[in-house]
A = this chain, B = another copy of it.
Amino acid sequence: MQDTAQKPAPERAYEAVIAKIRVMIEEKNLGPGDTLPPERQLAEIFNVSRHSLREAIRVLQEKGVLSARQGSGNYIQSATRGDLMRTLAVTTNTGSRRALEIFQLREIMEPQLAALAAEMGEARHIEMLEAILDKQGQTSDGIELRKLDHEFHETLAAATGNATLYELAQNINRSLLPPKTKIYDNRERQVISLEGHKRIVDAIKNKDVEGAKAEMRAHIARVKSTVF
């Protein structure tokens, strides 16, 4: 067991602090130029160590929400209150949650990529997809299969004819699964993956736009359930 295991995601101290700072900014109606209370005092108020407090401040600094002046104070930076609130509205996502976020992005994009591929797909793209399916059926090496899975989804994006979508798909894939993960060592997953890919390619070959979308949606759902 060494997936990208997802635990209940315990909230880190600095994350709680960021949330509290956001509330404070809203309640005290602070805007650009205003200063936060001193760190020692904030740590006291929020009941955390100054270290944890400073982690939160660093993050907000790096996001452009705050700026620190040694000897003076921490100042609210964002150009407008709108920028400030928007940034604070989504703040903070630790590694594990990020994986879920990227998965959500994938759920949004991939079914429509499949649909577009079915609509636009040229012969050469379909051939490439089928070649990948072949290889996928002939190996059982986990590393190789993960690679082929990436290839499949990227090729599908390429089949849309939209270079931007292709590049984005590449980055999504590579962000989602670290190369060494062994989730493909599981025989059951191998079958699920291959079956799903086959159905998708079939739909694309038949130029079945809605079918391709549905199959991809189902495929992602299945993969997701085996991962989490």
Please give the residue numbers on chain A whose beta carbons come within 8 Å of chain B beta carbons, in ascending order. Answer: 14, 26, 31-34, 51, 54-55, 58-59, 61-64, 66-69, 75-79, 82-96, 98, 101-102, 104-105, 108-109, 112-113, 124-125, 128, 131-132, 151, 154-155, 158-159, 161-168, 170-172, 174-175, 178-181
Main DSSP-derived SS at the A contact region: helix
Which chain B residues lie closer than 8 Å to A62 at the CB level?
A: 59, 62-63, 92-93
Do B33 and A179 touch across chains, with their CB atoms under 8 A apart? yes
Residues on the B chain within 8 Å of A164, using CB: 87-88, 91, 93, 98, 101-102, 104-105
Complex partner residue of A58 from B34, B55, B66, B168, CB under 8 angstroms: B55
Residues of B within 8 A of A32 (CB): 174, 178-179
Among candidates B96, B112, B128, residue contacting A86 with C-beta atoms closer than 8 Å: B128
Q: Is the CB of A178 within 8 A of B14?
A: no
Residues on B with beta carbons closer than 8 Å to the beta carbon of A101: 162-165
Contacting residues, chain B, for A159 (C-beta < 8 A)? 89
- Considering the chains assembled together, what is the distance between the CA atoms of A171 and B88 in angstroms? 11
A85 cross-chain contacts in B, Cβ below 8 A: 124, 128, 171
Q: How many angstroms between the C-alpha atoms of A31 and B143 in the bound complex? A: 15
User: Which of B61, B112, B124 is within 8 Å of A95, CB to CB?
Assistant: B61
A132: chain B residues at CB < 8 Å are 82
Q: Chain B residues near A128 (CB, 8 Å)?
A: 82, 85-86, 89
The reply to whether A163 and B78 contact each other, CB–CB distance below 8 Å, is: no
Which B residue's beta carbon lies closest to that of A78?
Answer: B175
Write out the residue numbers on chain B whose beta carbons fall within 8 Å of the beta carbon of A90: 158, 161-163, 166
Report the separation of the CA atoms of residues A17 and B86 in the bound assembly, to the nearest whole angstrom.
29
Residues on the B chain within 8 Å of A83, using CB? 171
Q: Are B77 and A94 in contact (CB under 8 A)?
A: no
